[in-house]
Amino acid sequence: MEYNCNDFTGCHNNKNFTVFSLVISNGTVSPINILTEKGTYIKSCLVLMISCSIIFSNIINILVIQKTVQLPRITRICILNLSISDLLVGLISCFPCIIPAFTGSWPYGDVWCQIAGIIHGTSVTISIWSLSLISIDRYFAIVRPLKSRCLLTPSKVVSTIILLWFIAVVTFFAPLPTKSNFIYYQYSKDEMICGLYWEYKWFCVITALYIPIISACIIIYTNFKVTRKVIDSRRMVAIWRTSRSSGQGEMRAVKLLTIATVVYFISWGPYVIQVILMSLTNINDIPSNFRFATMWLANCNSFSNVFVYSAMYKSFRRRARFLLLSVCCLGDGRFRVNSSTDKNGNSSGRDPADLFD
């Protein structure tokens, strides 16, 4: 796939470029330039809002999800891993793009751009692989419960996650040695990010195959098996009555996985299709606004999970609300909760978040 060199600030040294400069001809301001600047300002504001949302939402996820006991332990580990990867992409890849979005150039140097590009690709990979791990865990827990205790222990899952991080980082580091100066990733003025970059067709095809497609097949297969197993179990009335609470908890985890996966592919689908078309065909004239929209729609996936968790789990909503009120109100003394004693000084034994039932 060939990119127009003018799309990337790394291809030239145009130090006089300013997004908000107006071209005045014969004493008049060009309407086209005014519209262009308004569009650039709107997109820059979107970059700001999405970047801050990614950081804020994933901090909430990390603080709250570990105490959401309705989720199975291994599922919590995988979701925490997913939240950490999304937080990194917000801090390293998206948030630094706020200033370049307004100025039109990348001020942090080529080395930081390479780090941002690797982290961006790694986060995408870890997100879908974390969902795949959850689906495998639910499959063994429900369909093959006897094997689950041996195969999927928390320590083995953590070891697997570390291995997946290593593979993902190596994958997106791989194109760097193909350049004499190890500078592969470039800042795109169209997409307003120094992130995923697809100069080589082989790199695009390989990553598109083993990251989203194989992961999707795993999730679809395991969810199908789990759903069929639960339906068959419900037909056995005696068994269903004795294990109803457990079954409901398992199915809720499966629903969470399904919704999170659908949101992932809705967010990343348009961008992946666009990249594959540009790599395998000669389509290089995709509008700038469309490229921006697909990239930042994909980035929105990094903060969407907080809404999925809130919709699925009451305890998550309760703890998130408690956390927000604590941060907003404790500083000025308007909000006080004693988690260990009641108003008479007696031990209450209640979690402070339980006050928001």
Identify the domain containing residue 208 by its residue range.
5-304
Residues 262 and 318 in one domain: no
Instruction: Let me know whether 274 and 331 are in one domain.
Output: no
Question: Which of 76-80, 94-98, 135-139, 279-283 is the least confident region?
Answer: 279-283
pLDDT: which is higher, 233 or 185: 185
Q: How many domains does the chain have?
A: 2
Distance between CA 108 and CA 95 in Å, rounded? 12
Pairing of strands 24-25, 28-29: antiparallel
Place 20 in a pLDDT band, splitting at 50, 70 and 90. Answer: very low
If asked whether residues 299 and 326 sit together in one domain, one would say no
Which pLDDT belongs to residue 239? Answer: 47
Predicted confidence at residue 150, as pLDDT, reads 76
163 and 183 belong to one structural domain: yes
Distance CA 53, CA 325 (A): 18
Q: Is the pLDDT of residue 26 over 60?
A: no
Q: What is the CATH number of the domain that holds 46?
A: 1.20.1070.10
DSSP 8-state symbol, 229? H
Could you give the CA distance from residue 164 to residue 206 in angstroms, rounded to a whole number?
16
Domain boundary among 304, 327, 349: 304
Closest CA to 104 of 22, 48, 187: 187
Residues of the chain above pLDDT 90, percent: 35
Query: Is it the case that residue 261 has pLDDT exceeding 80?
Result: yes
Cβ distance 121 to 196 under 8 Å? yes
Higher pLDDT among residues 102 and 249, named by residue:
102
- Quote the CA–CA distance of 149 and 32 in Å, as a whole number: 64
Instruction: Please tell me the least confidently modeled range out of 67-76, 204-213, 226-235.
Output: 226-235
Tell me: do 176 and 126 sit in the same domain.
yes
Distance (Å, whole) CA 28 – CA 38? 17
pLDDT at residue 29, as a whole number: 47
Q: Residue 240: pLDDT above 50? A: no
Same domain (yes/no): 196, 333: no
Angle CA 281–285–287, to nearest 5: 125
For helices 314-329 and 288-312, give the axis angle rounded to 10 degrees.
100
Q: Are residues 209 and 66 in the same domain?
A: yes
- In this structure, the answer to whether residues 142 and 287 fall within a common structural domain is yes
Q: Please compute the mean of the pLDDT values over residues 84-113 and round it to a whole number.
A: 93
Q: CA-to-CA distance for 32 and 179, rounded, in angstroms? A: 38
Mean pLDDT within 286-305? 92
Res 301: pLDDT: 93
Residue 286 scores a pLDDT above 70 = yes
- Residue labelled with tokens 């969407």: 304
- Whether 115 and 63 map to the same domain: the answer is yes
Provide the whole-model pTM. Answer: 0.79
Instruction: Give the 3-state secondary structure of residue 22.
Output: coil
Residues 23 and 122 both lie in one domain: yes
